[in-house]
């Protein structure tokens, strides 16, 4: 079906789909929580210092963009390294995804298409 996009699949993965028997795997929520805990305060401090030093708001925005990219990298590497607290793949999924000696037991990772489609967009409101 051509109506199924990576965004829709990510939504199903993030929130689960009881109809399709998909457990919720909230990696985006966990990434935001990680960023709030580990990046937000230091990013704002760096951004304010940069702005005060230059008087240019773009220097503050650059720090926010860097944080956004760190979040994107965190989610992409976190899936591959199994760093998220998410439901494991079902045995039937592992069997289906195991091809040419490659064991398909990493949740949210098969071809890499979904995780590679994750983007970070900094947007001023």
The pLDDT of residue 17: 85
Is residue 49 within 8 Å of residue 41, measured between CB atoms? Answer: no
Instruction: Tell me the average pLDDT across 36-45.
Output: 94
Answer whether residue 108 shows pLDDT above 80.
no
Distance CA 117, CA 114 (A): 5
Q: Which of 115, 114, 106 is nearest to 83 (CA)?
A: 106
HSE-up of residue 12 (Cα within 13 Å, Cβ side): 14
100: left (phi over 0), alpha (psi -120 to 50) or beta: left
Answer whether residue 113 shows pLDDT above 90.
no
Answer whether residue 115 shows pLDDT above 60.
yes
The whole-model pTM stands at: 0.78
Answer whether residue 2 shows pLDDT above 70.
no
Mean confidence (pLDDT) of the chain: 86
Distance CA 71, CA 39 (A): 9
Q: What is the pLDDT of residues 5-29, one digit of tens each?
A: 888 888 988 999 888 888 899 999 9
């Amino acid at each position: 079906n051509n109506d199924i996009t990576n965004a829709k699949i990510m939504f199903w993965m993030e929130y689960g789909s009881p109809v399709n028997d998909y457990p919720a795997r909230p990696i985006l929520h966990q990434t935001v929580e990680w960023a709030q805990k580990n990046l937000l305060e230091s990013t704002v401090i760096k951004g304010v210092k940069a702005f005060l030093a230059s008087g240019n708001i773009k220097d503050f925005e650059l720090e926010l963009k860097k944080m956004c990219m760190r979040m994107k990298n965190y989610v992409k590497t976190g899936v591959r390294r199994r760093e998220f607290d998410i439901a494991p793949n079902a045995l039937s999924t592992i069997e289906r995804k195991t091809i040419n000696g490659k064991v398909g037991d990493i949740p949210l990772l098969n071809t890499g298409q979904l995780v590679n489609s994750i983007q970070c967009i900094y947007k001023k409101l």
